Structures are given as C-alpha cells and as structure tokens.
C-alpha cells in the first residue's frame, strides 16, 4: 500500500485527492520506482482541468519524478534494481510514493545530479533542449523572444540561450521577475503589464523583429507572438497556460510575412530511449558545467499538491517547484 494524489473528476485544485494506492506489479517491460522527488508542471493542471483527457478516471497525475528502481519486469535490461533514475513522460501517476512505468521512459542519473535537482529539471530541461538545440538551428548572435522567461522552462532557457550566444528577450509579469530573468542571462526583458510587447521587440531589434518566438502561454499571446516575428520567422507554440489556441486563420501567416508555426511536444522529439538519454546527457552536462543552474523556488509535501498547483497557476512561483513524498 502506498499514497498518491488522484482525481475522480475534472475541475480546480479542489478535485485532487490524497488516496491509498496499491501499484500493480511491473509488467515484462516495466519498472517500479520509489519516488524521492516529483516535478510540478503546468501540463499537470491540464489533465486535472480536463483540457487534456487522462485514459480513465480515477487517474493519477504527474509526469516527472526521480527515485530508485525498486522492482523490474522479466524482460527489462536497461536498468537494474537499486539504480538511480529519473523520468519525464507518461504514463500519468508521478504524484505518488511508488510509480510503475515502462523502462524505456527512464534515464539514468549521473552521480553529481541529486533527486531533487533531477525532478526539478528533467521535463523543463529536456523541453529547452529540443526547443533551442533541435527546433532552433542557431548560428549564434540571433535575437529570440521567449514568453514567461522567469518561469520554470524560461529560467533554464535564459541560461542555455546565453551559453549558445543568443540574445534572449524575455517577457515577464513584474519588475522582480524581470530582474530574475536578466540575472539568469536574458539579454532584455519586457514587462507585459506595463509595455507593449510587439512595440518593444521592434525597438530592441531596431525594426528587424525575431527569427523565432517561443510561446508557452497560448491563447492570450498568439497574436502578439506573430507580430514579433521577422519575415519567414518561426512561432514555436509549446504550451497553453492561458488556454489553447483555436480558430487559426492560415491566411494571417501570409499577411504577416510568410510565417511558420509549429506545435511540438517532448514526446515528438525524445521518441526513442536512445534519443531521450542523449538529450538528458546534454542537459546533465550543462548542469554539471554550471552553465545552467536550477533554482528550486518551492518545495511542497506531496499531500499538499493542491496548494502547489494553486501557487503555480496564480503565477506565485519562481523557478522550479517540487513535491516531496
């Protein structure tokens, strides 16, 4: 018997239940991980609210965690009992003391990466890896726009972009968050409560705008993001913090300069165990070198996941947030 957070219906943080849970025995290609730390991410709130549909209800929540392999299925060869691992993909159920998942979803942790750091970093760090290293094919020196630059993903993006020689303009919601983004490596910041984002981008780039805009906000920033793109620029829409983008008129892309749009996911890029481990190894190398540092701004007991999600959705968090079993 173990404990987990689960949902039996969709809604706000109040639907999160602290429940007894008996995890199944691992199947032939599965492992059971005893979580030591669990990552909190915006996508967790999408499953809670019903924006994304879990396979069934009741359902566990969470996609990211780190811990120790406690049991392995009969066909598992990639990892061993007692090995330190982390994961940042399905199935749902990371908000738990014990989690059973396919062995192919795991990455091995190097000795210099602890459980809290891994849980706070892996999903966000792998996201930044594919955004900047695979989607963005940069030569160095480019000026890019990154929304929510002081958040969990943005905090890593500011540092990684600086290491790549990019000028990252980050949007933020307060002077304090602007200060934080600049301290992490943002070239410039725009406070969207006080400034016109598109106009400031035009000024900062001397009229050239940006070749790539990274947008995890969604509905509220869609039009602004398009207005910040240079001709033939690329809008990378990788999140829905303000709600999903809908009713897209492709003709607008032509009118605004033959623009490109992509809606990527981590699963689309970390699509084999080997590629996922290689992406994680690059992330761990950035952490090990000190070029990327991850601040854990908030720690909550797992039983208080509702309070943690409230803080996240009300934008009262900075850096990464973890849940502790």
Per-residue pLDDT band for 247 (boundaries 50, 70, 90) equals confident
Per-residue pLDDT band for 242 (boundaries 50, 70, 90) equals confident
**pLDDT score for 1:** 85
**Spans of all domains in the chain:** 2-123+273-323, 136-263
Say which residue the tokens 């990892």 belong to.
Answer: 79
**What CATH code would you report for 136-263?**
3.40.50.720
**pLDDT score for 42:** 86
**pLDDT score for 209:** 98
Query: Rounded to whole angstroms, what are the CA distances from 176 to 15, 287, 293?
Result: 32, 24, 19
pLDDT greater than 90 at residue 241: no
Say whether 136-263 and 2-123+273-323 share the same fold: no
State the alpha helices, DSSP H only, in the chain.
42-49, 115-128, 152-163, 175-184, 197-204, 222-227, 250-255, 266-269, 273-289, 305-313
pLDDT greater than 80 at residue 21: yes
Tell me the sheet residues that pair with 254: none
Of 20-24, 245-249, 306-310, the least confident:
245-249
Residue 312: phi and psi, rounded to 5, are -65, -50
Condensed to tens digits (0 to 9), the pLDDT of residues 135-168 reads 988 999 999 999 999 888 999 999 999 999 999 9
- Hey, which of 22-36, 234-248, 308-322 has the most confident mean pLDDT? 22-36
pLDDT greater than 90 at residue 178: yes
Three-state DSSP at 34 gives strand
Query: pTM here?
Result: 0.88
Q: Which CATH class is domain 2-123+273-323?
A: alpha beta
Condensed to tens digits (0 to 9), the pLDDT of residues 260-312 reads 999 999 999 999 999 999 999 999 999 999 999 998 989 999 999 999 999 99
**pLDDT score for 152:** 84
How large is the average pLDDT for residues 100-106? Answer: 96
Condensed to tens digits (0 to 9), the pLDDT of residues 59-82 reads 999 999 999 999 999 999 999 999
Residue 33: phi and psi, rounded to 5, are -110, 130
């Amino acid at each position: 018997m173990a404990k987990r957070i689960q949902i039996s219906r969709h809604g706000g943080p109040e639907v999160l239940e602290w429940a007894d849970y008996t995890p199944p025995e691992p199947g032939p290609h599965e492992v059971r991980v005893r979580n030591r730390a669990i990552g909190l991410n915006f996508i967790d709130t999408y499953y809670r609210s019903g924006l994304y549909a879990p396979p069934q209800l009741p359902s566990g929540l969470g996609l990211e965690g780190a811990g120790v392999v406690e049991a392995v299925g009969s066909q598992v060869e990639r990892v061993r009992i007692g090995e330190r691992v982390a994961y940042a993909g399905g199935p749902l159920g990371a908000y738990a003391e014990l989690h059973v998942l396919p062995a192919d979803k795991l990455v091995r942790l190097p000795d210099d990466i602890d459980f809290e750091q891994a849980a706070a970093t892996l999903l966000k760090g792998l996201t930044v890896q594919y955004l900047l290293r695979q989607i963005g094919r940069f030569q160095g020196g480019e000026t890019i726009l990154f929304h929510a630059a002081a958040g969990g993903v943005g905090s890593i993006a500011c540092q990684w972009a600086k290491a790549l020689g990019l000028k990252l303009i980050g949007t933020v919601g307060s002077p304090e968050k602007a200060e934080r983004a600049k301290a992490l490596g943002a070239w410039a910041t725009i406070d969207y409560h006080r400034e016109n984002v598109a106009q400031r981008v035009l000024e900062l780039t001397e009229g050239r705008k940006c070749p790539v805009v990274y947008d995890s906000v969604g509905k509220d920033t869609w039009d602004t993001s398009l207005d910040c793109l240079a001709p033939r620029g690329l809008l990378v829409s990788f999140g829905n913090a303000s709600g999903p983008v809908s009713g897209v008129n492709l003709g607008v892309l032509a009118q605004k300069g033959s623009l490109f749009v992509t809606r990527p996911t981590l699963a689309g890029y970390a699509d084999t165990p080997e590629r996922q481990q290689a992406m994680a190894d690059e992330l761990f190398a950035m952490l090990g070198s000190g070029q990327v540092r991850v601040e854990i701004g908030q720690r909550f007991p797992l039983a208080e996941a509702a309070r943690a999600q409230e803080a996240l959705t009300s934008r009262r968090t900075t850096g990464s947030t973890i849940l502790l079993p």
